[in-house]
Amino acid sequence: MTVDAERTGPLDTFRQFFSLQRDVLVLSLAMFAFSLGFQMTNRFLPDYLVYLGAGGFVVGLFATLGNVIGAVFPYYGGVVSDRVGSRYALTVFGFLSTFGFAIWLVAAYVPAIDLGVVVLEPWVWIFVGLLLAQCWKSFGIGGHYAIVKQSTEPSRLARGFASTETFRRTAFLLAPLIVAVLVADQLMPGFLWVLVIAIVFAILGTIVQHFLYETDADSVGKEFEGVGQIRSDLRSLPDPLRPLLVADALVRFANGMVYAFFILVITQLFEIGLTTTLPVVGTIDLSPAAFFGVLLGVEMLVALLTMAPTAKIAERTGLKTVVGFGFFVYAIFPVLLLFGPQYVDAVSETWLLIALFAFSGLRFAGLPAHKALVVGPAEQGAGGRVTGSYYLVRGAIVIPSGALGGFLWQFVSPELSFTIATVVGLAGVAYFAAFGQEFEAYA
């Protein structure tokens, strides 16, 4: 991978895209396709669940299931990727994700099913679909990390991840804006068209990665040896990962308590839409769900503008500083979002929310450095399993966060849920500041 050391802007990252090795380039294209589908759907699914009859606690359980998937899938996905190669692993994961999107679409047309003992509400199928829709993202994460690691010099890992992450986040920028247009008046039926678009892009992403990805560079590891191998892989995690893992788990636990409820803060709690007048276009009146899409677009725009420069900064200041700042943004955002609008008038709260989501975009600026710190210390050919082991532990710790956040949201108060989340997140920030280690290539 060739990167001009003097070029660090977001536009230069796009220029560098066409000079990447073919496998990273193909991965970037697939990331764009699947990320467009994920971001168009996942961030809006809590509102979709409410539409299908679910309450706040069910939304929290949905987030917890996502945490279970995040804990279990990456490890075994990493094992599969190391064993059979990234191409075939990601192809299977892609088709499974496509089927998951289809289940979400069908759920809107399935009536409640009375089984006598229990009634299967339509929102149950959203849970079923999640098990499949998350396959490419969660099963495939080990393959993603391994591909970039085997194609990039150790001292350029942050920028290697910044290249793929930039295209992924470009999809994250476009996706909520597409949703905002389709649900401008109300969530349904526009969200059903969103799901159709997600299915189309998932199919395209799967085809692109299968036929264009070259398998010659794939590093294939040893055969999976069962639970004993899991214990061995966990014990052999590189030393720099241990304090990072503890801090990351605390920050992600905090985020898991509230992440699914960000859209409900806008659509259910504050019920804030957006009304503005633009030249030529005229007056635009967006529903709260559509305004949430605009906010996500602002968040991703900031991420894109700062990601590449931050990766370059990491090469001078080290990965730890950049990762720590990202953790801080993760931790402080919940209380700013929930309490900030309560202290301004109706007109100012719209602009305050835009400013808050712009600030939230800075947390993504540290993701390339974070990924480099995770996979950097791994031995060649073991990047998939090291990554999977890391996310297995982190995900297992984070599992109850969604249910806890949902319980507090519905049965106590959103204020308490978001406050506790920020306290836990700041504890992770403090731990990382005290004990976090630097990757030697950046020291």
Residue 277, amino acid: T
* 396-426 residues labelled b (16+ CB within 10 A) or e (exposed): bbbbbbbbbbbbbbbeeebeebbbbbbebbb
Which SS3 state, helix, strand or coil, does residue 181 take? helix
Asked whether residue 397 carries a pLDDT value surpassing 70, the answer given is: yes
pLDDT band at 200 (very low <50, low <70, confident <90, very high): very high
pLDDT at 225: 47
Mean pLDDT of 157-177: 72
CA 101/CA 134 separation, integer angstroms: 9
What is the residue type of 276?
Answer: T
Higher pLDDT: 277 or 23? It is: 277
pLDDT at 348: 82
CA atoms within 13 A on the CB side of 232: 8
More confident call, 224 vs 156: 156
Specify the higher pLDDT residue, 193 or 15. Answer: 193
> What average pLDDT does range 73-78 have in this prediction?
66
- Lowest mean pLDDT, pick from 66-80, 83-97, 299-313, 370-384: 370-384
| Phi, psi of 119, deg, nearest 5 | -110, 125
**Tokens of residue 69, six digits:** 């998937």
Confidence of residue 62 (pLDDT cuts 50, 70, 90): very high
What pLDDT band is residue 441 in, cutting at 50, 70 and 90?
Answer: very low
Helices H, strands E: what count in the chain? 20, 4
Other CB atoms within 10 Å distance of the CB of residue 306: 17
Q: What is the pLDDT of residue 5?
A: 42
pLDDT over 90 at 75, yes or no = no
Amino acid at 200: V
Mean pLDDT computed over 189-205: 91
Helix 367-375 vs helix 241-258: crossing angle, to nearest 10: 140
287 SS3 class: coil
Q: Any idea which of 190-194, 234-238, 414-418 has the lowest mean pLDDT?
A: 234-238
Pairing verdict, β 282-286 and 274-278? antiparallel
Q: Looking at the domain that runs over 10-442, which CATH code has it been given?
A: 1.20.1250.20
Amino acid identity of residue 248, one-letter, is D
pLDDT band at 273 (very low <50, low <70, confident <90, very high): confident
Q: Cis peptide before 400, with omega less than 30 degrees from 0?
A: no
- Is the pLDDT confidence value at 165 over 90? no
Residue 30: is its pLDDT beyond 70? yes
Which single residue is written with the structure tokens 């957006």? 274
Q: pLDDT tens across 101-122, in order? A: 999 999 999 998 888 788 889 9
Q: What is the pLDDT of residue 203?
A: 92
pLDDT at 173: 83
Query: Mean of the pLDDT values across residues 135-141?
Result: 65
Q: Token match 């009634």: residue?
A: 119
- Whole-model pTM: value is 0.81
pLDDT tens digit sequence for 209-229: 777 666 555 444 444 444 556
pLDDT of residue 188 exceeding 70: yes
Given pLDDT bands bounded at 50, 70 and 90, which one contains residue 236?
low
> Cα separation of 210 and 8, whole Å?
31
Lowest model confidence (mean pLDDT) among 276-285, 388-397, 414-423:
276-285
- Render 351-383 in DSSP notation, one character per residue: HHHHHHHHHHTHHHHTHHHHHHHHHTTSPTT-H
Q: Could you tell me which of 71, 385, 107 has the C-alpha nearest to residue 225?
A: 385
pLDDT (0 to 100) of residue 314: 76
Domain ranges of the chain: 10-442
Chain position carrying tokens 């004993």: 228
Mean pLDDT across the stretch 143-172?
65
